Structure 1
Amino acid sequence: MALSNNLTAILNLIAFLCSVPIIASGIWLAAQPDNECIHLIRWPVVLLGLLVLVVSLTGFVGAYWYKETLLAFYLCCMAILIALLLILLVFAFVVTRPDGSYDVPGRGYREFRIQGFSPWLRNHIVNSKNWGAIRACLAETDVCSRLTSRYLSADQFFAGHISPLQQSGCCKPPTACGYSYVNPTLWENPANPTADPDCYNWSNDQNQLCYNCSSCRAGLLGNLRKEWRKANTFLIIAAVVLIFVYVVGCCAFKNAQTEDLFARYKQGWA
């Protein structure tokens, strides 16, 4: 029984370590400039990681001092948390699977169309009543102002691999509009702009830029997709390890109970 309990305690330490990349992924997502403006999806990953941390510590205490009630509580809660993590992963994969990007001739970056993203992202992020607050929040960040110090010439800018939020985007007019480059956030109006409404929504006012453009919304979704895809890599690894730890922990718990019953049976015959 001591061997099974020690194994379960070690496994719970591994589960505790698994909570670290989950929490770190959540904090990294929440710290991104675009996620700071979207409160809907900022903290679920962090909260889930903290719950895994607390539950794994509970399992360690239960295994080390063999508190059967705590171990049962740990196994029940960990099963729920693993299920929630898997649901989150599947959901994130489904809603970020469509990619609204397209190639732009002569550019090192891609631009984005809002119609190319999943309906859930469009309906709950950029088409929601919260877009006015999101737009104002984005305008207050340094997402666009950083471009002017990073790119000193048109050739550098057009060959650069800038983020979807900047390239699609919020910081410049769409390439199809035919605006002439002055600097990354200052463009000269063409004589005959295309009929795309974004071409008329662009403003050289540094507080306006293209934050009212449909392409800005598409760039935001492109950024979210890119960030969640990166975070999913660490979450998938954590989920695989947690599932392995949970299965082995269940076996160890069952063996401990069997050993305990066998010991009581022997005492009864002694």
Structure 2
Amino acid sequence: MVRISNNLVGILNLVTFILSIPILGGGIWLSTRASTDCEKFLEKPIIALGVFLLIVSLAGFIGACFRVSWLLWVYLLVMFLLIVLLFCFTIFAFVVTNKGAGKVVSGRGYKEYKLGDYSNWLQKRVNDQKNWGKIRSCLQDSNVCKSLSEDTNEDFQTYIKKSLSPLQSGCCKPPSECNLTYVNATVWNPPATPSSSTNPDCATWSNEKLCFDCQSCKAGVLDNLKRDWKKVAVINVIFLIFLVIVYSIGCCAFRNNREDNAYPRWKGNP
């Protein structure tokens, strides 16, 4: 008699196996079409995820449906390690995103961001020149400042009432404390009287390169990352609960396999 737990594990892994095929195919397609650093950065993780899901789901399906105990044992081991890693990452994500928030600026509709407000671990990641080079390239490829640059006739009072995203506020304009003279959303001239601000972003701003090398841009990236990681962490909690349930069902299927494989041996004993 086919056991219910084995059927459930088999069905779940068959669905996962089917889903892994388009993921793997998408990664391979992306590797042949990638033209930007952002796309190239995504291709390897997507292919790795597709291969991982394909192999693990195949092991779980064969192990559960064809009573191959060692394959099911490998499947359960991988599932256990995945649960532990996901749990650790979720805790880590909550910890490193606990600090940092945008500051309200008087008379402005947007917030401004400072790198020092965020966790040291995140700061080290964006301050690494190699990492930031890739992130900056992605930001430039995404045209994050394009919608602002199109409003060339917008006056200053209208502009400062806008609700800018963390990336737009940090990367597409100079900090307010620099007191640069507004021309349009992406063109700011040096003030007649030099600013007394010690913020290094005041000197980094350029009408050609904007503020993509500014500390405020890095802070905007971290604020954006913080929001995304918090969403991912919540999804991870739900996914963890699902994995624990699947793992428990898998353990029942593994026990069934051992009982079924042992039955012929003890049945024949006098």
Counterpart in the other structure of 1:95: 96
How far is 1:170 from its partner?
1.5
Question: Which deviates more from structure 2 when the two are superposed, residues 211-220 or residues 41-50?
Answer: 41-50
CA distance in 1, matches of 2:159, 2:251: 56
Question: Which deviates more from structure 2 when the two are superposed, residues 242-251 or residues 152-161?
Answer: 152-161
Q: Contact 1:164 / 1:222 at 8 angstroms: preserved in 2?
A: yes
Query: What is the TM-score with the length of structure 1 in the denominator?
Result: 0.76
Counterpart in the other structure of 1:61: 62
- Counterpart amino acid of 1:218? A
**For residues 219-258 of structure 1, what are the structure 2 equivalents within 5 Å?**
219-258=220-259
CA distance in 2, matches of 1:66, 1:236: 31
How far is 1:114 from its partner?
0.8
Counterpart in the other structure of 2:31: none
1:162 and 2:189 aligned: no
Which structure 1 segments of 5+ residues have no match? 27-34
Counterpart in the other structure of 1:133: 133
1:198 and 2:205 aligned: no
SS of equivalent to 2:163: coil
Say how many residue pairs are matched. 253
How far is 1:231 from its partner?
3.0
Shift in alpha-carbon separation, 1:14–1:160, aligned structure 2, 3 A: farther
Q: Contact 1:8 / 1:253 at 8 angstroms: preserved in 2?
A: no
Q: Contact 2:67 / 2:257 at 8 angstroms: preserved in 1?
A: no
Q: Contact 1:179 / 1:190 at 8 angstroms: preserved in 2?
A: yes
Counterpart in the other structure of 1:108: 109
CA distance in 2, matches of 1:159, 1:267: 85
- Counterpart amino acid of 1:83? V
Share of identical aligned residues, percent?
39
CA RMSD of aligned residues (A): 3.5
CA distance in 2, matches of 1:221, 1:53: 33
How far is 1:107 from its partner?
2.6
SS of equivalent to 2:236: helix
Which structure 2 segments of 5+ residues have no match? 28-36
1:174 and 2:175 aligned: yes
How far is 1:112 from its partner?
0.9
CA distance in 2, matches of 1:19, 1:87: 24
CA distance in 1, matches of 2:99, 2:18: 33
CA distance in 2, matches of 1:89, 1:120: 16
Question: Which deviates more from structure 2 when the two are superposed, residues 144-153 or residues 171-180?
Answer: 144-153
SS of equivalent to 1:244: helix
Counterpart in the other structure of 1:29: none
Q: Contact 2:126 / 2:132 at 8 angstroms: preserved in 1?
A: no
SS of equivalent to 2:7: helix
How far is 1:174 from its partner?
0.6
